[in-house]
Structure formats: structure tokens, C-alpha cells
A and B are shown apart, each in its own frame.
Chain A
């Protein structure tokens, strides 16, 4: 059930924000001009419930239930084959926190999330700016950018793993011809066998698959900035760099924030890239907390559920801190103008 529970945990973060708007959008029972009988009045009062019910049931079954099961699982003593043999209290948690591998994994998770999100945002800012310019073939270029997004992440990771094969991977052969890799089938060409270089390559792949979505989010933001502002700035004698900092960046903030938060959650929960490329190995040296949760599940189902809850808490805390730092509550600058 950890599988379901773990999946539910990720679904929780995603579905929450996605399905929540269903509530407010539904028309509330507004007072109607003509008087009606008592029965009709009750029916009218209950009407919103009927509209809300599908969304509410969906949230309860798909989001809340798995979370409850997850919490239950984390407090149970479950044998490796899946038989529940009683309550474990908080032992799963204390065992998890005493795991000698955990500190390294937490640090690596931070490196992974910060590096991937920061690089993705930086590259996407540039790409969005580029794609906002008029140039021949822009339509084709914009379509081409979708490719890494449309391809299965698992396939992308698998193909990168093959390209990095120590003896005949395409990337290695290329690097060998350039003289960067001195010998094929050597420790140097075994990029995924060394934890540091493996992590670097996986960060690269994660950025590669995250950039398209981020670029499109930022591009949409850029297109919503009225051109007159730039004209006015030009008349006032502002340099390009100055108008980028003073106009583009502030007005891009809402789109930037949304893209960054979504990337934070996705990258934190990212599983297929690491799993396909290194399985978290050698040892636990390329595990992030998400991969570690899956590794634990092989033998320690309760402890994996505990890890899952820690992950869930971490991601909520990270997002809250990030939103706080960015003054989420501050009014949209466009309203101020």
C-alpha cells in the first residue's frame, strides 16, 4: 500500500491547488427575486452541495484518503513481504532519523532542487526573451522546444544513460573525439559510476526536461507586458538593461513565481530521471529523499511511509518559505500601476 500511499502523497500536492478552484467557480446560491415554497427554498440551499459534491468526493478519495492511509502505514510494523504485524508507534520515524545515510541524502536533495530550479529559471528567462523576439522560423523553434517536454521523462533519462555508456555511448564517443575523454571504457568515461559526475549529468537532464514548461510560462508572462511601457522608457532614455530590470523583471514576477513554485515541487518529487540513470547508486550516493523513500520500501515499508511524510512536510515548508520570501501576499504590481 506504500505505493498507493506514496503516489497519493505526490498527488496531494498537485491536485490540491489544481482542483481547489472548482469550488469558487461554481455559482453560489444567490437570492432569487421571486418567493418560492419552503421545499423549493431548501432545495435551493442544497443546490450548491450537489455542484460541489463531485469535486469534494474526488478530493476526499484521491487526496485525503491516501494521506490518511500513509499516516497509518507510517505508524505500523510491516514485514518486508507486506504483512502488518502491529503498531510501531513512532519507531519508524526514529529509525529513519537515525539512518546514517539520511544527512547526506538531505544535503543532496537540497543541492539537486536548488541547482535544477535555479538553472532552469535562468536558462528559461533567456530562452523566453529570445522566443519573444521576431525572427524567421520562430514558430518552428517554439514547436521544437516542446519536444523534451512531450517526450516521456523516463525515455529521456534512459536515452541519456545509453549515450553515457562507458564504451560506446554517443556522448562519450563525441567527447573522446574532442579529446576530453582520453580513453573509452575507463573510469573517466563512466560518468554515471561516480556519484559527483552522475549527479551533475542528472541535474543536466532534469534542467533539459524542465526548461520547456518554464520557458512557456515565462513567455506567456512576457507577452502580457504592454509594449508602450518600453516605448515610454526609451523616450526617457533608459538603456535596454535598465528597462529589462525596471519593467520586464517586475512585471514578470507573477509568471516567474508560479513557474518556480511548480518546478520546486516537481524537481523535489522527481523520480524517473534518477531511478533510470543510476537507481540512486552507487550505494545511496545519488539518492534524493524521493528515491530513498522508494529504496526503503523494498524492505522497510513503514519506514518508507515515514520518509514519505517527511517529504510531504518538507515540500510544504519549502513552498511556504519561498512564497514568504517573495511576498506572496503583496498585491500584483499591475494593479498598483
Chain B
């Protein structure tokens, strides 16, 4: 493995240096009156067939037709590489004008962003769902522009439930545990519990909420090692140790559990609307074979579930405020919002698009959860906390929950 690695690193280093060497501002104003905006976004697709580049390119060219003086250059990158790529862009000061996919407070903290009021028309700003808008605040000003959202629910396999003699989806943890044991006895995975590094923070929060816990307390300060959270993890640990989950939940990623559910091998799991296309692609489960229900809690189902959202932010580093505003007003039309959500089975971020989408029964259940959804903490330090949760929380099911939560709380408090 020697030589190849060495050559690989050499070429890699040279390429990086070349990139760094040519570095300059990307969004440049060329001839008088004509502006080029650079757009950098996450790719929600699976491969080139449904790449998000296509979606943005279509908007960019329609926008260019309407505004010939403004050109938008689109680049998207796969979710896995997205954080690293954004980090590199920022570190090399190659800021895009518009970035889609990251949270706002961390950039706002470094004074890199235009506030929403400067890059959105008042009517568009008023059309944003308030529950997501408030997450993008930094020191009381809106910086994040919600673009796409989703909420979580319990998915269950009706066929497996029938085979195990379970009449209705569980509403409490105790019911979930006994149902999972029955399903396991039939040779399936009872409950799919992904606590691997992909998205441990979501799975954990949905359990924390079931016990009245969460990442922050009522006053909005970090309270990660609360008694409720420790108890929730202890319960999860009990499930895993009894074999009612898939083996090694601490290293299982969400995508693996979702894929196994789509293959008809998992009885229950938590998921977003994005599970639906995976089930359809697998072709094992028919629409009548599975359903969604409220997420079970310790004593009753959750009244507010996890809502996640990906934001657009507008960088002030290129000085293209007017052009960005025109572009965002154009890109947030209902037809584009709906097109995106249709393509990737996500939910819209504007009230008007949500209203027209709620006619679809498949999404209605998820949409109705939005107004009272709980989101991740809107803090500049959240990203750091989330990284640590993703890396270490999985150990809680095999080790000591309180020790791990204490360590995360320590990072959270020291970071802000």
C-alpha cells in the first residue's frame, strides 16, 4: 500500500496548493451592470440522476432570463463532504454569495452574513414558517432563511406487526419494548436504533423529548446531562442489551436502518418523509405494508416532535446584496419549493407552499407536526456540540450514559 498512498498524497497536496494559490473572491462583478452570484449548496440527490445541481441550475437559468444582468453560478456537493467543503471555503476566504445547507448563527457570529431583512422582500420574510425562522437568529436578528424542512414520526411495518400479533403501534416506551420483543421473536429487528455518527443527535433527541428532556431547558441554556436524558439513554441501553434493537446501535448509521426497514427486516424505527423514496426504490414494501404514527414517549406519545431544517444564508463578503435579494425572491416561489420537496420527499419552509402541499395525505401527517416541532438549539456552539454527540453518544448504550452526557455538557457549556 506504500507507493500508491505516497503518490496520492502528493497529487492531493499539489492540487490543494494549486487551489489555494489561485484563491480569490469567487463572486466577482465583471462588466458594468452585470453581476455574477456564486451559489454553493448541499446535494440531496443520490447520484447524478437527481442531483440538486439540476434543480438550482434550472432556477438559475430561469432567473437569468428574467434578469439578464445577473448570472448565478451553481455548485453543489454531497452531504457527506459538505461540512468539510464549507470549512475549506471559509478558511480560504472563498465565500459564496449564497450558501444552502448550513445553520446561520455560526456565520453570523463572525459577521459574515446579511440579515434576512436585507436580502428578502417583506412579503417573503412574512411567508417563512416562524418556528424555523427563529432558529436562525443571532443576538435577536434573523440571519437564517429556512429552505427545506422535515419532521419525524414512527414508521412501522404493518406486515411484521400482524405476524407478531400486535394490533396498534406503540404509544409508550413500555409498549414499544414489549412490541419489539415480540417482533424479535419472529426473527426481525424489533426497533431500529441508529446512534452512529451520521445522525445520533436526532434519534437521541426524540427519546429525550419522550421523557420531558432535550438539549436545552425551558430557559434555553444547555441541559444535556439532565436526569431525564440520562434515564432515556438508560432505557435505550436496556432495549439494546435485551437484543430488541439491531446489534451495536452505537455504530449503526441512519441510512443503514432506513435501508433495512425498506427491505422489510425492521419492525419499527423513527424517520422523516425521506424514508418514503427509499422504501419505493427497494420495492419490497407496498404502500399498504407500512404506516407512520406519533413518536412514543415514556408515558404518552410526543406532542411535539423533532423538526429539522436546512437554511440558506447570504454572505455579505461579496457585496451583492441587491442581486442576492432578487435571486432569493425568485427562488422561493411556491413552484420551486414544491418541486424540491416533490423530488426529495422533504417539506417546504414557506407557509404558502405548505398550504398547497397539505392536500397530499402522505405528507399531511408530517406537515401538521411542524408548528409545534422542537428544533436543535439555535446557538453558534451547536455545531461543535453536535459533532461530539455524533461521535460519542453511541457509546452510551454500551457504557455509562451519565458519563458521556456529562462530557458533552462540559463541551457545550465551555463553547457558549
Contact = CB atoms under 8 A, between A and B. Distances in A.
Interface of A: 1-4, 7-8, 10-11, 14-15, 18, 61-62, 65-66, 78-85, 100, 149, 153, 166-167, 185-187, 189-190, 192-194, 209-210, 213, 262-263, 266, 269-270, 278-285, 295, 298-301
A65 B387 contact: no
A185 B391 contact: no
A1 B399 CA distance: 35
B28 interface: no
A213 B1 contact: yes
Contacts of B5: 14, 153, 266, 269
A81 B84 CA distance: 9
A266 B4 CA distance: 11
A295 B84 CA distance: 11
B110 to A, nearest CB: 4
Contacts of B10: 11, 14-15, 62
B394 A283 contact: yes
Contacts of A82: 86-91
Given A4-B20, A192-B248, A282-B250, A81 B90 contact: yes
Contacts of A84: 91
B393 to A, nearest CB: 9
B149 interface: no
Interface of B: 1-6, 9-10, 12-14, 16-17, 20, 83-84, 86-92, 102, 106-107, 109-110, 112, 189, 196-197, 243, 246-248, 250-252, 260, 265, 383-384, 387-388, 391-392, 394-395, 398-399, 404, 407
A71 to B, nearest CB: 16
Given A210-B1, A284-B392, 8 more contacts: A153-B5, A185-B189, A186-B243, A193-B248, A280-B391, A282-B395, A299-B387, A299-B388
Contacts of B383: 80-81, 299
Given A78-B91, A266-B1, A282-B395, A4 B13 contact: yes
Contacts of A149: 1, 4
B17 A278 contact: no
Contacts of B407: 100
Nearest to A1: B91
Contacts of B4: 149, 153
A188 B337 CA distance: 46
B83 A298 contact: yes
Contacts of B387: 80, 298-299
B416 to A, nearest CB: 11
A8 B15 CA distance: 11
A1 B20 contact: yes
B409 to A, nearest CB: 14
Given A7-B16, A66-B17, A192-B251, A81 B86 contact: yes
A166 B243 contact: no
A285 B408 CA distance: 16
Contacts of B17: 4, 61-62, 65-66
For the complex of A and B, 7 pairs with smallest distance between CB atoms:
A193-B248, A82-B91, A190-B247, A82-B90, A14-B6, A283-B395, A4-B16
A260 to B, nearest CB: 12
Contact of A301 (B87, B246, B260, B395): B87
B328 to A, nearest CB: 21
B110 A282 contact: no
A2 B265 CA distance: 42
Nearest to B184: A185
Contacts of B260: 167
A285 B87 CA distance: 26
B121 to A, nearest CB: 28
Contacts of B12: 7
B2 A263 contact: yes
Contacts of A100: 407
Contacts of A266: 1-2, 5
Contacts of B112: 83
28 contacts: A1-B91, A3-B84, A4-B13, A4-B16, A4-B20, A7-B9, A14-B10, A62-B13, A62-B14, A79-B110, A81-B102, A82-B86, A82-B91, A83-B110, A85-B110, A149-B1, A167-B260, A185-B246, A192-B251, A193-B250, A194-B248, A279-B251, A281-B196, A282-B251, A284-B391, A285-B395, A299-B387, A299-B388
Given A81-B86, A299-B383, A281 B251 contact: yes
Contacts of B16: 3-4, 7
A282 B2 contact: no
A274 to B, nearest CB: 13
A55 to B, nearest CB: 13
Contacts of A10: 9
Residue with the greatest number of chain B CB neighbours at <10 A, chosen from A4, A153, A166: A4
A3 to B, nearest CB: 6
Contacts of A281: 196-197, 250-251, 391, 394
Contact of B87 (A81, A190, A192, A269): A81
Contacts of A153: 1, 4-5
Nearest to B21: A61
Contacts of A7: 9, 12-13, 16
Contacts of B107: 81
B300 to A, nearest CB: 31
Nearest to A208: B1
A4 B16 CA distance: 6
Contacts of B247: 166, 185-187, 189-190, 193
Nearest to B197: A279
